Structure 1
Amino acid sequence: MESREISSGLLMRLLTLLLYKINKTPCLRRLRKHPGRIFLVSSKLCIKATAFTTLAEANTMRFVAQNTSIPVPRVYCSFKHKGRVYILMERVQGQDLSQNWSQRSEESKARILAQLKAMVAELRSIPPPGDVGVANVDGGPIFDQRLPDKSFWGPFTTIQEFHRELRRGLELADGEEAFPGLRELIEFHNGPWEGPVFTHGDLAVSIS
């Protein structure tokens, strides 16, 4: 299923593209304190428009905001322009955990990890649609740069189908010789499995 744009009227498109173009100038890029993949437009706004940004990413943030108590940036608009996706969203103030993690007390670390655990548990508790397998929030392909060969996979009807794709369709006949552990891996891949859940597979060290 194709992901939909959010509030992508002409005015919002022009405003986002103008802000992106201004903030991409070499002068402003040198002045930014936090250069990276997201343009910090102001204390309240930021724009994400990398080569890997997708409309599903914006829809996911809106979905999480609507179905959980997890604080996520508000998405003001998202659209595709000349092959690139632009997301204009709220800039949430915070401090990267990676900056002072080693200086935190064990009690502080434990509280933060408990919060993250609760957030992930809340994500995974969202009831999935009955007809969705391994897919993004819109029913389209999942994105993971860590997977081999390609970054976009699926969608898949079942978890077993996803696992089969991971091993490039490899199956073993009864009695067929195989590398040590391969038959056990395939048996593990084939389940049985419970239904898929909504989750986040790449919590970064830059969490604020």
Structure 2
Amino acid sequence: MRANISEIFYSVQGEGIFCGVRQLFIRFSGCNLNCYYCDTRYSERCMDYANSRELENPVSLDYIQNVVDSSKNIHSVSFTGGEPLLYANFIAGLEKTRAFYLESNMSLPEEARKLKHFDIIAGDLKVREALKAGYEEIYENTVKSFRILRDSESRVTFAKIVLPERFDVEDVLARAEGIADCVRCFVLQPVFGSDVRNILKLQEKMLELADTRVIPQVHKYLGVR
């Protein structure tokens, strides 16, 4: 099997409750959504910064397995994107020789079923203001995905909510309530550079629902990938 991969690199996790841990990042190309704040850039070729190589796409499963197996002193392997669930069959073909961490928009539940062996799920709960159309269907699929990949004794699952300066507090609360029993906590993540005062007000209300933390994109403040 092969997959289109944009980048392979080592860095620290800059989002969510595992901020600061060293990871191997495997960034897949392409996404099924079009969030207005998305800042991910793609390359037609795969830039393997971990091994100082440039590869033709699509990249083979064996190559990625070798990169995973040879990684040292990492907390986990982050499968990110884009949207890695678009490549769920490819990822499911990898032997898990390190802890596996999924960063997903959680909108593809049938693909999520293929990755139930993952150790950590950093799943997005999109707000209505992030998307141009089709929000209700995306939300329904998000709930399904969180139920499939719910938090458990063997898996840490948390929900990340990326928030612009303006959003509907009551709508966010209602959407969060729909997955509260599936996650260990919520992470409120400001769009980089935005005012966080409304987010702090939202946190106060959400703490009545579940553990809720405000964590910005730390890697951007550090100036790393």
What TM-score, normalized by structure 1, do the two folds share? 0.26
Instruction: Please tell me whether Structure 1 or Structure 2 has the larger radius of gyration of its CA atoms.
Output: 1
What TM-score, normalized by structure 2, do the two folds share? 0.24
Structure with more strand by fraction: 2
